[in-house]
Structure 1
Amino acid sequence: MEISILNTTKLKNVPSGSGLVKRDNLYYVIGDDSPYLFTLDTNFSLISKTLLIDTAPHLNERIIKSEKPDFESLELISKNEMVAFGSGSKSPERDAFIRILLEEDIQIERYQITDFYNHLKTLPLFQDSELNIEVVAFQDEQLFLFNRKKNLILTFNYLNLLAYFKGETDFPVHDITEFSLPKIKGIEAGFSGATTLKNQSKIIFTASVEDTNNAYDDGEILGSFIGMINIKNHKVESVYSYCAIPNTAEKLKVESVTIEEEISLGKTKVLLISDDDLGNSTLIESMLLW
């Protein structure tokens, strides 16, 4: 696997980019300290923003760390539906699930999912881990939630999980897989973004490395990776391929990935978004080969 960077674009008025989705000729972005869903055109110019959650007062579009919902994950479910999750790394501020309905006007459904996150914390693989949901991906009715450090992927049937969030059913059946990711300077990368290919049963994921020992505090940015995981029988396989994402003028903390174009088998143009922990967001057009 190899990735080459084609172009980079600094985003204006879109802070702390953490989630990215392409839908037709529009791009949707969330930031981990912003209450908005940002809509961009094909030139990556901001054309609108939609309030996702009512929050404490914010300055220059950014919410103070102790109050932020920490939106880290965004994914397209269907042509007319997206979902976003708060990370759950601080309760109750970050215990949010947002369902975004892309009709003529964007409609927002908001759910407080503290009970769901508390249940995850009781699972055996979470016993020596922090809860930090950084990524969501979707394919064939299956929703994949990625926890960062410990690196876990939880697989749910999306409609069953949505029914649980609505209070219509018990905690749904799920599958959970643990991963060991590559390291930089002895520090293991943590899942940061993902999406699925449309023409293959594969997840493209990103992972980044920060010099920090917990899910709450930022640390020195050391670099990022991109990789691929196969899906078989609606479950993720535990093996993966990967390569390092080359740094630009600065070390990249890549936060999310979306598909620009599946050119051919083994060749896909992807768009990444990075966050420098200072509130700046950069889009990175890249070509991925495997």
Structure 2
Amino acid sequence: MRATILQEAPLPDLPSASGIEIIGEVAYVIGDDSPFLYQLSASSLAAGEKVPLFETAHFSTGRIPKDVKLDLECLTALTTPAGEVGLLVLGSGATAAREQGFWVPLPGSTGAAASVYPLALGGLYAALRALLPAGIVLNLEAAAATATELLLFQRTVGTASGNLVFCLPLVATLDYLHHRTPQLPPVQWQFAALPAIDGKPAGFSGASWFADRLFVTASVEDTQNAVLDGAVLGSFVGVLQLTRESERPLPVVLTQLQLPDGKPYRGKVESVAVRRRTGPGRYELLLVTDDDAGGSTAVAVDLVV
């Protein structure tokens, strides 16, 4: 497997990019300290409309402070049983303020969001915390939806023992989040063994379901804290194979991102979407990064699986 960066472009006025999904010709991006859902051209990255997800008085500096931000980290596109296409946006759950999410239906072909529906995630996150190993703080960093399942990715920094994938039945989970049923469906989970850089283990940062394959990203930070940032050592991209053998780690095949000259890329990748398949076992990806100072970039990558 090889992942080579084709291009990196700054995303001005889009702070702390944390999630990306592509639907048609539109790339949707969220930031972990921003109240907006941003729309970009998936091909040119030209900025389009931005949709307010929530009201806040704390965005005057262009970034919501860490202690009050919703930390929106998880973004996935899905289609409901009624045929409605939309985006599910979820907070990380690392603090009480981060137990909020949103359902954003996307009517018509333009991708313009007409409505935003808040979601309270306290019940779901309490159930997920009960499944974590001792000493691990809930910190969801990515989500992906297949036709039947919602996958949530736990990122644990400073230790390899807490990188988990939670699997929930999609329709029943949506019914619970929208208060159509009072009972959260059963949650399955599996551990994933991720690589390390300089002895520091990677943690999940992004995920996307495309053409029956689950693409994931992971990054490495020199920190022991789920809330505080650390020095970024590099990022990985690859594929994860879903299995139902809960006693075994999930098979994950990752490769470290490299620059065209073969040197390792040191940016902090936050999420992944697939622009297109360019050949057998070959894909063009679009990643977003966050420099932990408010700056964001979009990174086009040639992935050979």
TM-score (norm 1): 0.93
CA distance in 2 between partners of 1:140 and 1:16 (Å): 29
* Identical counterparts, % of pairs: 32
Tell me if the contact between 1:56 and 1:67 (Cα under 8 Å) persists in the aligned partners: no
* Secondary structure at 1:238 match in 2: coil
Q: Which amino acid is 1:140 matched to? A: A
CA distance in 1 between partners of 2:124 and 2:284 (Å): 35
Give the structure 2 partner of residue 3 of structure 1. 3
Query: Which residue of 88, 92, 100 corresponds with 1:96?
Result: 100
Tell me if the contact between 1:252 and 1:274 (Cα under 8 Å) persists in the aligned partners: yes
Q: CA deviation at 1:19?
A: 0.4
Query: Which residue of 131, 136, 144 corresponds with 1:129?
Result: 136
Matches within 5 A, 1:24-63: 24-41=24-41, 42-63=43-64
Tell me if the contact between 1:221 and 1:251 (Cα under 8 Å) persists in the aligned partners: yes
Give the structure 2 partner of residue 279 of structure 1. 294
Give the structure 1 partner of residue 218 of structure 2. 207
CA distance in 2 between partners of 1:254 and 1:7 (Å): 14
Tell me if the contact between 1:230 and 1:237 (Cα under 8 Å) persists in the aligned partners: no
- Residue 194 of structure 1 pairs with residue 190 of structure 2: no
Tell me if the contact between 2:193 and 2:249 (Cα under 8 Å) persists in the aligned partners: no
* Secondary structure at 1:65 match in 2: coil
* Secondary structure at 2:251 match in 1: strand
Tell me if the contact between 2:192 and 2:252 (Cα under 8 Å) persists in the aligned partners: no
Query: Which residue of 82, 86, 90 corresponds with 1:81?
Result: 86
CA distance in 1 between partners of 2:257 and 2:144 (Å): 20
CA distance in 1 between partners of 2:30 and 2:294 (Å): 12
Give the structure 2 partner of residue 141 of structure 1. 148
Q: Which amino acid is 1:11 matched to? A: L
User: Unpaired runs of 5+ in structure 2?
Assistant: 157-161
* Secondary structure at 1:231 match in 2: coil
User: Unpaired runs of 5+ in structure 1?
Assistant: none
Tell me if the contact between 1:33 and 1:63 (Cα under 8 Å) persists in the aligned partners: yes
Matches within 5 A, 1:205-284: 205-232=216-243, 238-246=250-258, 251-284=266-299
CA distance 1:190–1:249, shift in 2 (3 Å): closer
Tell me if the contact between 1:75 and 1:83 (Cα under 8 Å) persists in the aligned partners: yes
TM-score (norm 2): 0.88
Q: Which amino acid is 2:120 matched to? A: Q
Tell me if the contact between 2:219 and 2:268 (Cα under 8 Å) persists in the aligned partners: yes
Describe the superposition over 1:135-166 as per-residue Cα deviations: whole angstroms up to 9, x where unpaired: 00111221100000111000111111111123
Tell me if the contact between 2:191 and 2:250 (Cα under 8 Å) persists in the aligned partners: yes
Per residue, is there more strand in 1 or in 2?
1
Tell me if the contact between 2:237 and 2:257 (Cα under 8 Å) persists in the aligned partners: yes
Q: Which amino acid is 1:30 matched to? A: I
Give the structure 1 partner of residue 182 of structure 2. 169
Tell me if the contact between 2:205 and 2:219 (Cα under 8 Å) persists in the aligned partners: yes
Provide the aligned C-alpha RMSD in A: 2.0
Give the structure 2 partner of residue 119 of structure 1. 127
Q: CA deviation at 1:172?
A: 0.7
Give the structure 2 partner of residue 64 of structure 1. 65
CA distance in 1 between partners of 2:58 and 2:287 (Å): 29
Q: CA deviation at 1:250?
A: 7.0
* Secondary structure at 1:164 match in 2: helix
Describe the superposition over 1:183-208 as per-residue Cα deviations: whole angstroms up to 9, x where unpaired: 1121110000010122x3x2110000
Give the structure 2 partner of residue 180 of structure 1. 193
CA distance in 1 between partners of 2:58 and 2:7 (Å): 35
